[in-house]
Amino acid sequence: MNATAQAKAQTPDQAPGAAKPLLEIRGVEKRFSLSGDFLEQLKFKRGRIVREQQFVHAINGVDLDIQRGEALCVVGESGCGKSTVARTVMGLIHPSAGEVRYDGQRIDDLSHKALMPYRRRMQMIFQNPYASLNPRMTIQQTLEEPIRLHHPDWSPKRIKQQVAEVMASVGIAADWGGRYGHEFSGGQRQRIAIARALAVDPEFIVADEPISALDVSIQAQVLNLLMEAQQQRNLTYLFITHDLAVVEHFGTRVAVMYLGRVCEVAPTATLFARPRHPYTQALMSAIPRLEDDRPQHIRLEGEVPTPVNLPSGCVFHGRCPHAFDRCRQEIPQLIVTDDGGQVACHAVEEGRID
């Protein structure tokens, strides 16, 4: 995979003639109510009963495109909304606003039945291999079930054959079928979970922190497996992670999120060579490295604000060393940079910082 070559073909905001993206996320917002049910929302204020609701703003206006065959990595710290993006794309959560388009078709408002063809084409791999396999089902049952659902016309023999093929392709021994998930180690379970996702021959996979719960030596195995599957099956990934080393290795492009907004999107090599957004810069300087020469990490002031009361303007302004008045008032939009990325920062736009 040549990251820079691919990146050139995928200039953001669709240069004329460029391929249509496989997945488009447009202005997606998601807020979760904190205020319980209707009766609990009623408050008595100034002699009147008013309905009051508080929300957690998990994501606020996310725009992302995912091109066929690429691996788009979404990075950010806990609470930045990266998992919410993944779950919204997969239809596990309905967005409060905005839309998700798959292959040109809007999918976030489809009925269960209308969504079925997309369910086969889009699959998901979860973070915790200890919770993502049903403890009461054997591996064979776990793998056969989705195939039977999506191919009701297939014979039992053909289903078995498909299971055997997918098990072989992820390096699971054929005799594991009769056993239960708890008999396996974390890495083995994650292989099984990947096999389940691949069993219905999807073209797009959302992976939500698929290696975070695994040991270092096992992480490499699973990452290799995901890359092999991508090459063999021409998969497209939306890869959620907090580990920048993994992003650098795995991603075609990277989107950096902070407090429910995308602050920078760029081809991987570009982003790592020259991070533009002040938050990206701070994030990258914080990675513990093996080398001696400790580059001083950029200390951010304060902490991530709560997503209940979002800061006005740029959500990062309270901790940003380059913040000025405009940042406190106006929400920065993603602008295209000269090196093929997009960044949402007034300071970069105005050329005040590099």
Partner 1 sequence: MTTTTPQVASRWSRFRGSYLLYSFKRDLVAQLSLLVFIALVAVAVLAPWLAPMNPYDLAQIDIMSSELPPFWIEGSDPAYPVGTDAQGRDMLSTILYGARVSLIIGFGAVALQAMLGVSFGLLAGYLGGRVDAFLMRLADIQLSFSTLMVAIVVGALVKAIFGGATFSAYAVPLLVLIIGLAEWPQYARTVRASVLAERHKEYVDAARVMGFTSRRIMFRHILPNTLSPIFVISTVQVANAIISEAALSFLGLGMPETQPSLGSLIKSGFDYLQSGSWWITLIPGLVLVVLVLVINLLGDWLRDVLNPRLYKG
Partner 2 sequence: MALLDVNHLDVRFALRRGDVQALRDISFSLERGERLGIVGESGAGKSVAAFSLLNLIAKPGYIAGGSIQFDGRELTDMSDRALRHVRGHRMSMIFQDPMMTLNPVLSIGEQMVECLKAHRRISTREARAIALRKLEQVQIPSPSARLDQYPHELSGGMRQRVIIAIALLLDPDIIIADEPTTALDVTIQAEIMALLLELCEQHNVGLILITHDLGVVSQVTQRMLVMYAGRVIEQGPTREIINDPQHPYTQGLINALPQMATPGSRLNQIPGSMPSLDNLPTGCAFHPRCGFIDRADGTTRRACIDEVPGFVTSGNCRVACHMVAEMLERERISAEEIR
Question: Which residues have CB under 8 Å from 330's CB, separation 6+?
Answer: 313, 314, 346
Q: How many other CB atoms sit within 10 Å of the CB of residue 4? A: 13
Size of the site for partner 2 (CB under 8 A): 44
Answer yes or no whether residue 131 interacts with partner 2 by CB under 8 A: no
Q: In this chain, which of 45, 78, 113, 173 binds partner 2, going by CB under 8 A?
A: 78
By CB under 8 A, the residues from 312 to 341 that bind partner 1 are none
Residues 114-133, one symbol each (x = binds partner 1 by CB under 8 A, - = not), give: -xx--xx-xxx-xxx--xxx
Q: Which of 347, 41, 74 is nearest to 208 (CA)?
A: 74
Backbone angles phi, psi at 133, to 5 degrees: -110, 135
Residues 249-268, one symbol each (x = binds partner 2 by CB under 8 A, - = not), give: xx-----------------x
Q: How far apart are CA 178 and CA 137, in angstroms?
A: 9
Q: Which of 65, 72, 77 is nearest to 259 (CA)?
A: 77
Residue 178 CB, nearest approach to partner 1 (Å): 5
Answer yes or no whether residue 345 interacts with partner 2 by CB under 8 A: no
Answer yes or no whether residue 2 interacts with partner 2 by CB under 8 A: yes
Q: Are 268 and 73 in contact (CB under 8 A)?
A: yes
State the binding partner of 323 from partner 1, partner 2, none, CB within 5 to 8 A by kind: none
Task: At 44, list the tokens.
Answer: 């008595």
Residues 141-180, one symbol each (x = binds partner 2 by CB under 8 A, - = not), give: ----------------------------------------
Q: Which of 8, 148 has the CB closer to partner 1?
A: 148
Q: Which of 195, 269 has the CB closer to partner 1?
A: 195
Residue 279 CB, nearest approach to partner 2 (Å): 9
Answer yes or no whether residue 322 interacts with partner 2 by CB under 8 A: no
CA separation (Å) from 240 to 69, 139, 246, 354? 16, 26, 10, 27
- Part of the chain binding partner 2 (CB under 8 A), chosen from 201-209, 239-247, 309-317, 341-349: 239-247
Q: In this chain, which of 60, 67, 88, 188 binds partner 2, going by CB under 8 A?
A: 188
Residues 290-309, one symbol each (x = binds partner 2 by CB under 8 A, - = not), give: xxx-x--x-xx-xxx-----
Q: Which of 71, 89 has the CB closer to partner 2?
A: 71
Q: Are 261 and 344 in contact (CB under 8 A)?
A: yes
Residue 199 CB, nearest approach to partner 1 (Å): 9
Answer yes or no whether residue 92 interacts with partner 1 by CB under 8 A: yes
By CB under 8 A, the residues from 209 to 238 that bind partner 2 are 215-221, 223-224, 227
- Part of the chain binding partner 1 (CB under 8 A), chosen from 58-66, 74-82, 168-176, 334-342: 168-176
User: What residues line the site for partner 1 (CB under 8 A)?
Assistant: 37, 87, 90-92, 112, 115-116, 119-120, 122-124, 126-128, 131-137, 145-146, 149-150, 171, 173, 175-176, 178-179, 183-185, 188, 193, 196, 200
Site of interaction with partner 2 (CB under 8 A): 1-3, 77-78, 185, 187-188, 215-221, 223-224, 227, 242, 244-246, 248-250, 268-269, 282-283, 285-292, 294, 297, 299-300, 302-304
